[in-house]
Amino acid sequence: MYFDAENITCKSGKELKIVSIGPDNAEQFLDFMHQVSDDTHFMSRYGNEIGQTEKDILAERERLKGLFEDERQGMISIFDGNRIIGNIAIKNVGKGRKTKHRCSIGLAVRKEYHGEGLGTILMECAIRFAEAAGYQYIELGVLSDNKTAQGLYKKMGFEEWGRLPNAFILDDGSSLDEITMYKAI
């Protein structure tokens, strides 16, 4: 997916750039995912599970190339200089006729940029993209203790439709439910 680059201003007044990313951003994206996964248990993996070897970078390049070249899927990132500080992925649930009307999204923002309004900006971009791509539903999953993200999603018009008990088991042995949400567009 190609998304025209835009300059944006976060709540603190800092100027940032939002753009679709592709294969050339693989190393930056893996660095981003490693950091956000290290900063919080809200991600689906721990930071040390995000590979950053040359093999991992090559595999990520291929994955990002496929998303970048697909008119109905992609990654939108916010950059502070050359560093990805926020990202939203838009992926189709299926390409067959029965599910091509549904997409799923995944959102992350670096911890030091929380509270700057970047989640809202990324969600607005993803919703616009999903509408333009012809999707009818956007789906997502969120951990049951991530009240901030749940608040954002509800503000953006998402509704809870299910819950998977004990969907995530943390290293300390505790478990968390995954709340599934959707938005009709």
Mean pLDDT, 10 residues at a time, the chain of 185 residues: 86 95 96 96 95 95 93 95 97 94 98 96 96 97 97 98 97 98 97
In a domain, 179, yes or no: no
In a domain, 45, yes or no: yes
> From the CB of residue 110, how many other CB atoms can be counted at a distance below 10 Å?
19
Domain interval for residue 52: 6-135
Return the H-helix or E-strand segment holding 6: strand 6-9
Residue 49 DSSP code: G
In a domain, 108, yes or no: yes
In a domain, 143, yes or no: no
Domain count, the chain: 1
In a domain, 153, yes or no: no
In a domain, 107, yes or no: yes
**pTM exceeding 0.85:** yes
CATH number of the domain within which 56 lies: 3.40.630.30
